[in-house]
Amino acid sequence: MSAPRRAGRRRRALPDEDPVPVRDALGALGDELGLPAPGAISALTERWAEIVGPALAPHARLRTLRGGVVTIAVDAPAWATELRYQQDTLKERIEEVTGRDVVRSVRVVVDRPA
């Protein structure tokens, strides 16, 4: 009689299964969760002032990039209005950084500092 399998035990790869590189496994998991390609967030962060403009950069931050939707949080309603007027331009600038297949839309929310 064999012992019951414990929760949390790792499944061993069968001899006919090839190992999967960690990067590929994380990429597949990210796809299932609606997360962007590795490096997309860091690329956006590095070029943020260029994307939103130097006047808006201190007031706007990248909140999320999930399921093709970039969410930008701003610290006041006036900045949200300004960014909403620029949504098409923002999407184009973001696509220049991430590629065309990463972003479907841009969402702007007000997130006042505490």
Instruction: Give me the pLDDT at residue 57, please.
Output: 95
- Single pTM value for the model: 0.69
Residue 100's pLDDT band (boundaries 50, 70, 90)?
confident
- Rounded distance, CA 3 to CA 68, Å? 45
Name the residue ranges covered by the structural domains of the chain.
Answer: 36-110
**For the domain 36-110, what is the CATH code?**
3.30.300.180
Instruction: Give me the pLDDT at residue 101, please.
Output: 80
pLDDT at 70 over 80: yes
From residue 60, alpha-carbon distances to 6, 34, 39, 82 in Å are 47, 23, 20, 11
| Residue found under tokens 């999930």 | 66
pLDDT in tens, 5-62: 555 566 655 566 788 787 777 667 766 766 666 677 888 999 999 999 999 999 999 9
